[in-house]
Structure 1
Amino acid sequence: MKYRKLGNSDLEISAVGLGTWAYGNDTFGQVDDQQSIKAIRAAVDSGINLIDTAPAYGDGHAEKVVGKAIQGIRDKVVVATKCGTHRDGPKYIRDLSPQRIRTEIENSLKRLDIEQIDLYQIHWPDPDTPLEDSVEELLKLKQEGKFKYLAVCNFGVELMQKISKMTDIISLQPQYSLLKREIEDQIIPYLLNNNLGTLSYGTLGGGILSGKYQERPQFDDEKDNRAGFYPFFREENWDQTQSLIELLREIAAKNGQTPAQTAISWAINRPAITTALVGAKNEKQARENAEAADFNLSKEEMESLTKKSNEVIKIRTFVLP
């Protein structure tokens, strides 16, 4: 496993991190809690030390699963969670009001069963709450020792500039993969110029870049809304992705790797990407994800995947909901 310093902090995090959205057990199909706990343990045993979660994942359920899994190994993991997005039934509500932030961090600490969060992240911007009010409360919580470092997710350059005038942040968590690369234009240069780390999510595009789907999957919308969040699965976008996935399969076979490992390796070796967050529903997936950091694609393979990605993305814009 490779380890990298996150921004200008003293956190040393693994190049592959564990994303836990699926452990909420209401978004990525049926997930067994005991299998999730075993997957977390296997990830840590394989060298992954960054575990990223959020209250919005299963209305706190993912945090509870993480809390159970890290009992006895707290010193081996960097725990990252979030504030500002919560669940109201199937809806995701954005709320960065000071009262909500304080309630959320107290609940997160209880569910995770830890005394301090290593990396506390604003999950999504909230247009209805002045950012100044949110930051004022976050700084109080930091002074109280509730979390160590502050970061943001899904922010553009303008919002990062705004919050950086109020307080220090150490990283951004954006969506980034071979099928989602908009951050390369303005956001990546900003992160590099300001020594900010990057925890990329959606590394496998909701699983499509794993290459396991020979035909377009039909998800149960009640328990699996991947197609709603990741447009690549939609019928009007499916054919567009196939030449890239076939190239992933070819390069993976040549290197004795899986397509998923190849997509992860590409991501963690792109400029500014500190860690690629990847989910794992079982021990096997967790170990394979970790192993992706132990081999490097050749320069030619990196360029070939990047070129094919450019071609696929530029065919036409993916149709969004």
Structure 2
Amino acid sequence: MAGHVNMMDDYLIANLPPPILRSALRLLISQGAITQKPFVEHVRARFRENPPTLRVFSTLFTGNDGVTSECSAYVAQIRCMFSCKMSEESIPHLEQFVNAIYSRRVSWSETSEVAKLLTSFDGDIVQAIQALKETDPPPTAELLITLNNFLASLKNCAEYCSAAQPRLRFPFARGRQQLQDAIRFLFPQQRSTSLPPTPPEPESEELASLPGEIRQAAVETFRLGPFEVPRLFNGLWQLSSASWGSATTTDQERALTHAAKCGLTAADMADHYGDAELVYGVFRNKFSKHSQTTVFAATKWCVFSPIPKPVTAAWVSDAVCERSRRLKGRVELLQFHWYDYTQKEYLDVLAELVLLTKTCPTTVSAIGLCNFDSAHLAEACEHLIARFGEVGLVSNQVQFSLVDARPLRRMTETCEKYGLKLLTYGTLCGGFLSERWLDKPAPEPYSESNRLTPSQRKYLDTIHHWAPWHTFQALLTHLSSLAAAHSVSVSSVAARWVLQQPAVGAVIVGARLGVSEDHADDNVRTFGFRLSGEEMGRLNEIALGAEGGRMKGVFERLGDCGREYRNVH
């Protein structure tokens, strides 16, 4: 259906510089499904009207250590395809790119533009295959052939890299692992016939000796179910999109190893965070069997739409086992998210999950919630008490920061009543609660000159719900003075404030594994001090406002914890 477009608007669109046009599009699709859905549908329709063609190998790579403009354009085209829900159609193009590498006998140095492109393309493969898994396509013979052909292409590329002189690093290890996982997920009957057995991860000498190197004394811990865990988790949300950049498996493992040596041995992830579960599963399985107990995996089961079948013990068990398979072992904490509280099946799912912790503790050991509000957290707890005589849940993961203190309205009291701990994300507001933004003007969220990450756009919106930018600057100024007094960073003070709130077990701090600066050492400094009563009181005056006015305002605009993530009737 064609809609009227103002002539001057049409003329404006025709003449806008591309960066401003992209900024305008980001603004429009941020308004929600009413604009985002037709945008994606329109792009997909145009691609299907004029399907992209496979590029000739010689146009992609010249064989030297450079990237052609044709190659960059082809990669951009592939990214558009899987991003507009044409993931299955994008696979032959992904395969063609990989085929070109060994067919053209491309070589590269690790600091070259080619190496950077290949690392980024590895992330693209991860995202394309993740998009395919999330669409849950029919397991047709044609799809299996397509996936196996792509896997064979990656195998050929790995053999080419191994035989090259000098030897080349195989650049698509993450993508290959994600593809193998997709075949196992979409074609479970093919697991023993279609794929070669996955070799066990070799124990790393560095990781085998890690327990003796962990700086446990420097890290505060708390009890979460049967485990004693750090009060700061490494968050792996950034693996859910290549928008944050991509890193090699070596760089990712190096970042995780350093965090573990600092005592930060717990990670938070989800089934839809790209290949996060696979990355962490490979990492922890490089420990010796004895040492694997020193690392803690918290993942999620997120139900975003109506479930396709009745809740049964077998269906719930299959979902848990799928996450255990990707993690290559026990799920220490499984956090459950539900899309619509009016659909009460979630209570039956939670009951089955709690039962599994009793009957299969080596598969899943503890159950938590994710983005539940206070009323429905209480409803779930009361249901489980009536069923089992105990709560059976250990945590709820919610957003909590100096500029979003909604948990203090009801959530902390409810958690204390039922004995749950809060795991908090957004505590650093995507990096806004740091020295970097002190004395800086408010960024335009969709301008390319600011290069805000997706999470920063989200948290900038939270800041605007909280107070004007000048008030946020006053908060940063006060945090900076406290940071100087305690010889720590602004981020450490912001995290410390949350850690000293009732019912809070741990804060979750995002880790862009191998992509950007490693903050593990700075994160540990959060445990080296406490804010005094006077310091907490002054921060509360700014953060919560007079008589809690700012906190109440955010609560009224956004609703209780997690309201923004589900449909509540």
Scaled by the length of structure 1, the TM-score of the pair is: 0.83
C-alpha separation in 1, matches of 2:236 and 2:468: 26
Cα distance, 1:158 vs. partner?
Answer: 2.1
What are the equivalent positions in structure 2 for 1:18-33 lying under 5 Å apart?
18-26=234-242, 29-33=244-248
8 Å CA contact 1:199–1:277 kept in 2: the answer is yes
CA contact 2:230–2:263 (8 Å) conserved in 1? yes
1:150 aligns with 2:367: yes
Q: CA deviation at 1:56?
A: 2.1
Map 1:56-205 → 2, pairs under 5 A = 56-58=272-274, 61-71=275-285, 72=287, 73-85=291-303, 93-94=304-305, 98=311, 101-114=316-329, 116-127=330-341, 128=343, 130-139=345-354, 141-142=356-357, 143-145=359-361, 146-164=363-381, 165-166=383-384, 168-205=392-429
Structure 1 counterpart of 2:256: 40
Residues 1:33 and 1:259: Cα distance change in structure 2 (over 3 Å): farther
Q: Which has the higher contact order (CA 8 A, sep 6+)?
A: 1
Change (3 A) 1:244 1:283: same
The residue number in structure 2 matching 1:286 is 520
Task: Give the letter for the 1:38 counterpart.
Answer: R
Q: Where does residue 88 of structure 1 map in the other structure?
A: none
Structure 1 stretches of 5 or more lacking a match?
86-92
Seen in structure 2, the aligned counterparts of structure 1 residues 301 and 173 have a Cα distance that, compared at 3 Å, is same
Q: Which protein has the bigger strand share?
A: 1
**What do residues 221-244 of structure 1 show as CA deviations (whole Å, max 9, x unaligned)?**
999422553223669954442211
Give, in angstroms, the shift of residue 124 of structure 1: 4.1
Say if 1:78 and 1:54 are closer, same or farther in 2 by CA, change over 3 A. same
Which position in structure 1 is the counterpart of 2:458? Answer: 229
Question: How far does the alpha carbon of each residue in 1:134-181 deviate from its partner, in whole angstroms, 9 at most, with x for none?
Answer: 224424543244211111121122212222222511111111111111
Aligned residue runs from structure 1 range 219-258, under 5 A: 224-230=453-459, 231-232=461-462, 237-258=468-489
Task: Tell me by how many angstroms 1:95 deviates.
Answer: 5.5
Q: Secondary structure at the match of 1:271?
A: coil
Of the structure 1 ranges 72-81 and 137-146, higher mean CA displacement relative to structure 2 is found in: 137-146
Secondary structure of the corresponding residue to residue 80 of structure 1: strand
CA distance in 2, matches of 1:107, 1:224: 30
Q: Do 1:152 and 1:173's aligned partners in 2 also have CA atoms closer than 8 Å?
A: yes
Q: Quick one: distance in 1 between partners of 2:452 and 2:433?
A: 21
CA deviation vs aligned residue, 1:240-271 (integer Å, no higher than 9, x gap) = 42211121112112221111111111111222
Q: Is the 8 A contact 1:79 1:117 kept in 2?
A: yes
Amino acid at match of 1:272: A
Quote the Cα distance in structure 2 between the aligned partners of 1:62 and 1:237.
Answer: 36
Q: Is the 8 A contact 2:354 2:392 kept in 1?
A: no
Q: How many residues in Structure 1 have an aligned counterpart in Structure 2?
A: 308
Aligned to 2:174: none
Q: Which has the larger radius of gyration?
A: 2
Amino acid at match of 2:411: I
Which amino acid in 1 is paired with 2:480?
Answer: R
The question of whether the paired residues in 2 share the 8 Å contact of 1:43 and 1:290 is answered with: no
Paired with 1:66 and 1:121, the residues of 2 have a C-alpha distance of: 17
Deviates more, 1:188-197 or 1:304-313: 304-313
- d(CA) in 2 for partners of 1:182, 1:52: 21
Partner Cα separation in structure 2 for residue 222 and residue 136 of structure 1:
44
Partner SS, residue 333 of structure 2: strand
Change (3 A) 1:307 1:44: same
Q: Counterpart of 2:493 in 1: which secondary structure?
A: helix
Residue 53 of structure 1: aligned partner: 269
Cα distance change, pair 134–277 in 1 and its aligned pair in 2 (3 A): same
Which position in structure 1 is the counterpart of 2:503?
272
Q: Which moved more, 1:135-144 or 1:231-240?
A: 231-240
Please give the alpha-carbon distance, in whole angstroms, between the structure 2 residues aligned to 1:38 and 1:260. Answer: 23
Report whether the alignment pairs 1:304 with 2:521.
no
In structure 2, list runs of 5 or more residues that go unmatched. Answer: 1-218, 385-390, 559-563, 565-569
User: C-alpha deviations, 1:65-95, integer Å up to 9, x for none?
Assistant: 222332315221121111024xxxxxxx346
Are the equivalent residues in 2 in contact too, given 1:54–1:81 (CA < 8 A)?
yes
CA distance in 2, matches of 1:175, 1:273: 11
Question: Deviation of residue 12 (structure 1)?
Answer: 0.9
